[in-house]
Amino acid sequence: MKNLFRNIPNILSGWRLLSFPLLMYFIFSHQRGEFILLLSINLITDILDGLIARVFKLQTNFGARLDSLADMGTYLAAFTAFIYLEWSFVSAHGWAFSVLVFLWLLPQLICLIRFGRPPHFHLWSNKFAGYMQGIFIFTYFNWGNSEIFFMIMWVISVLAFLEELVVAVRIPQLRANLKGVFWMIREQGKIA
């Protein structure tokens, strides 16, 4: 029973990862209600897996990688749904979406080039931005757009992605569960 409890965060992340093809099926078959329900479940389990891992000190490198991969799937499905189901919103905010995609991809590419794999830093800023993105996605698909909330989420996301970019450029070796640039600098005694 103790091992099952210990694996709950990984089970929740695994669920999100395994549900990715179903999310995509719901998008492309125009099953909007089913997509929204499954996406909402995935956004909630994303919060729960990290919370359980932190509160009960169950954080592992494997869990961080699995969570990052599951996050990519969930957010890729949400992004696909915006493009496929909500094109008018995306085209009206093309510059904002382009900036977000570019700033998210850049640290991914830098880490692939420098370390041979994508990052799984789990910076506090990225966690907060992820919560804001998840809340925006959930509220958008359930109740419609709030332009003010979209811009707040966008600014928070840009700042978080910029911090991840700094970490990706400066960190001497890839590792999981960093708090942020300030803590990285403090650990190193100076900027690498």
For residue range 128-175, what is the model confidence (pLDDT) as tens digits?
A: 999 999 999 999 999 999 999 999 999 999 999 999 999 999 999 888
Exposure string of 40-60, with b = 16+ CB inside 10 Å and e = fewer, is eebbebbeebbebbeeeebbe
The least confident of 67-71, 107-111, 144-148 is: 67-71
pLDDT surpasses 90 at 111: yes
Do 58 and 133 reside in the same domain of the chain?
no
> Residue 93 and residue 89: Cα distance in Å, rounded?
6
Q: What range does the domain containing 188 cover?
A: 87-192
Question: What dihedral angle (degrees, nearest 10) is formed by the CA atoms of 52, 174, 131, 25?
Answer: -90
Exposed/middle/buried for residue 144 (C-beta within 10 Å: 0-12, 13-18, 19+): exposed
Do 80 and 96 reside in the same domain of the chain?
no
Sorting pLDDT into bands at 50, 70 and 90, what band is 192? very low
pLDDT surpasses 50 at 107: yes
For residue range 12-29, what is the model confidence (pLDDT) as tens digits?
A: 999 999 999 999 999 999
Sorting pLDDT into bands at 50, 70 and 90, what band is 1? low
Nearest CA-CA partner of 49 in 165, 41, 180, 116: 41
Do 136 and 101 reside in the same domain of the chain?
yes
Last residue of a domain, one of 85, 116, 133: 85
Give the total number of structural domains in the chain. Answer: 2
> Residue 37 and residue 132: Cα distance in Å, rounded?
18
Distance between terminal CA atoms of the chain? 43
Do 150 and 75 reside in the same domain of the chain?
no
Q: Looking at residue 175, what is its pLDDT?
A: 84
Do 70 and 116 reside in the same domain of the chain?
no
Tokens representing 42 are 């995935």
Average pLDDT of span 21-40? 96
pLDDT surpasses 80 at 118: yes
Average pLDDT of span 60-81? 90
Do 65 and 147 reside in the same domain of the chain?
no
Mean pLDDT (the chain, rounded) = 90
Do 46 and 107 reside in the same domain of the chain?
no
Do 38 and 122 reside in the same domain of the chain?
no
Do 116 and 37 reside in the same domain of the chain?
no
The residue with greater pLDDT, 151 or 65, is: 151
pLDDT surpasses 90 at 185: no
Within 29-123, residue ranges assigned H as helices are 32-55, 61-85, 87-92, 94-115
Do 94 and 81 reside in the same domain of the chain?
no
Nearest CA-CA partner of 151 in 132, 172, 124, 126: 132
Do 15 and 79 reside in the same domain of the chain?
yes
Cα of 10 vs its chain's centroid, Å? 16
Last residue of a domain, one of 66, 85, 104: 85
Last residue of a domain, one of 85, 111, 127: 85
What's this model's pTM, rounded to 2 decimal places? 0.84
Q: Looking at residue 4, what is its pLDDT?
A: 56
Q: Looking at residue 3, what is its pLDDT?
A: 61
